[in-house]
């Protein structure tokens, strides 16, 4: 390439003599234009590369932020679940605290309930009422398991958590037909109330009545415990009529 006044001349000479040489003349103005285009293209490439790098960084940062948001959402859900569990535990603690709080000794009428005067008719004297519709404990207790509908053979009665040694009372007047102990119910009492009704009181620590004994409604017949197949002190209470389980909560009301 040779420089001429006002421009440049480029001579292209091919190898061999078969082809003639070619000459290109470039003015200074055209060369400056080409140089400017080259610089512009280079600058554009640098800008594009920088923009691409920035966009890649932003995409990675956005992905990291999405992961952080998902992690925080999971933590929030876990904290909410822990809060619900804590509320449940507080409710259970309140129930247990009320259950095991010391109570005043029950009056003598709750221990025996003898007729206040001479012999009266069943309608006039509630202690001889035979329908088992009275709460079977002298304390309120805490129901932990009810009768399972359709699965009476699995759990045919009511479990009521109470402190050991609580008074177990006859739900109605009747005759004690069985007092015993086995591996499942532990120490138990069974009462026949007539009209097809029978009640069972199980897991007692001590029984206070004998087979064949006539008992009054609300008479103390045993003390609660955890004998037999039991993990904590409670009363297992069953009502049957003509041999079929009856939901105790449909007949008795928790005080």
Condensed to tens digits (0 to 9), the pLDDT of residues 48-83 reads: 888 888 888 888 888 888 888 888 888 888 888 888
Closest CA to 194 of 221, 173, 224: 173
> Are 70 and 185 in the same domain?
no
DSSP at 224: E
Mean pLDDT comparison of 18-22, 112-116, 169-173, highest-scoring range = 169-173
Q: Judge whether 20 lies within some domain.
A: yes
pLDDT band for 153, please (50, 70, 90 cuts).
low
> Are 118 and 241 in the same domain?
yes
pLDDT at position 201 is: 98
Closest CA to 173 of 196, 189, 191, 160: 191
* Edge-to-edge strands, sheet with 7-12: 2-4, 7-12, 22-27
Q: What is the mean pLDDT of residues 149-178?
A: 84
> Are 93 and 115 in the same domain?
no
Report percent pLDDT > 90 for the chain: 33
> Are 71 and 25 in the same domain?
yes
- Position 152 pLDDT exceeds 50: no
Backbone φ and ψ of 216, nearest 5°: -95, 165
Number of domains the chain contains: 2
pLDDT band for 108, please (50, 70, 90 cuts).
very low
Domain endpoint, select from 60, 76, 101 = 101
> Are 22 and 96 in the same domain?
yes
Domain endpoint, select from 73, 101, 129 = 101
Residues in the chain, total: 255
> Are 68 and 120 in the same domain?
no
- The CB-side HSE value for 159 (13 A sphere, CA atoms) comes to 17
> Are 121 and 97 in the same domain?
no
Q: Judge whether 106 lies within some domain.
A: no
pLDDT at position 160 is: 92
The region, left, alpha or beta by phi > 0 then psi within -120 to 50, assigned to residue 168 is: beta
> Are 138 and 203 in the same domain?
yes
The whole-angstrom separation of Cα 33 and Cα 6 is: 14
pLDDT at position 174 is: 95
> Are 38 and 137 in the same domain?
no
> Are 79 and 132 in the same domain?
no
Name the residue with higher pLDDT: 255 or 115. 255
Residue 155 sits in which domain range? 111-250
- Position 110 pLDDT exceeds 80: no
pTM: 0.54
């Amino acid at each position: 390439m040779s420089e001429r006044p006002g421009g440049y001349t480029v001579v292209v000479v091919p190898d061999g003599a078969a082809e003639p040489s070619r000459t290109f003349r470039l003015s200074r103005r055209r060369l400056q234009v080409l140089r400017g285009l080259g610089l512009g293209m280079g600058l554009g490439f640098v800008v594009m590369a920088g923009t691409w790098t920035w966009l890649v960084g932003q995409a990675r940062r956005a992905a990291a932020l999405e992961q952080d948001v998902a992690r925080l959402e999971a933590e929030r859900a876990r904290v909410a679940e822990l809060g619900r569990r804590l509320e449940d535990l507080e409710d259970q603690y309140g129930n247990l605290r009320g259950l095991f709080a010391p109570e005043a000794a029950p009056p003598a009428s709750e221990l025996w309930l003898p007729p206040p005067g001479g012999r009266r008719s069943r309608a006039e004297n509630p202690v001889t009422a035979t329908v088992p519709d009275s709460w079977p404990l002298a304390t309120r207790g805490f129901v932990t398991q009810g009768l399972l509908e359709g699965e009476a053979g699995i759990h045919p009665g009511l479990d009521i958590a109470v402190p050991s040694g609580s008074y177990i009372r006859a739900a109605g007047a009747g005759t004690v037909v069985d007092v015993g102990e086995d591996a499942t119910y532990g120490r138990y009492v069974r009462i026949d109330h007539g009209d097809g009704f029978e009640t069972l009181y199980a897991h007692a620590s001590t029984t206070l009545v004998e087979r064949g004994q006539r008992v009054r409604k609300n008479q103390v017949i045993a003390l609660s415990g955890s004998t037999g197949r039991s993990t904590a002190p409670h009363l297992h209470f069953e009502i049957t009529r003509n041999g079929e389980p009856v939901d105790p909560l449909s007949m008795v009301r928790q005080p």
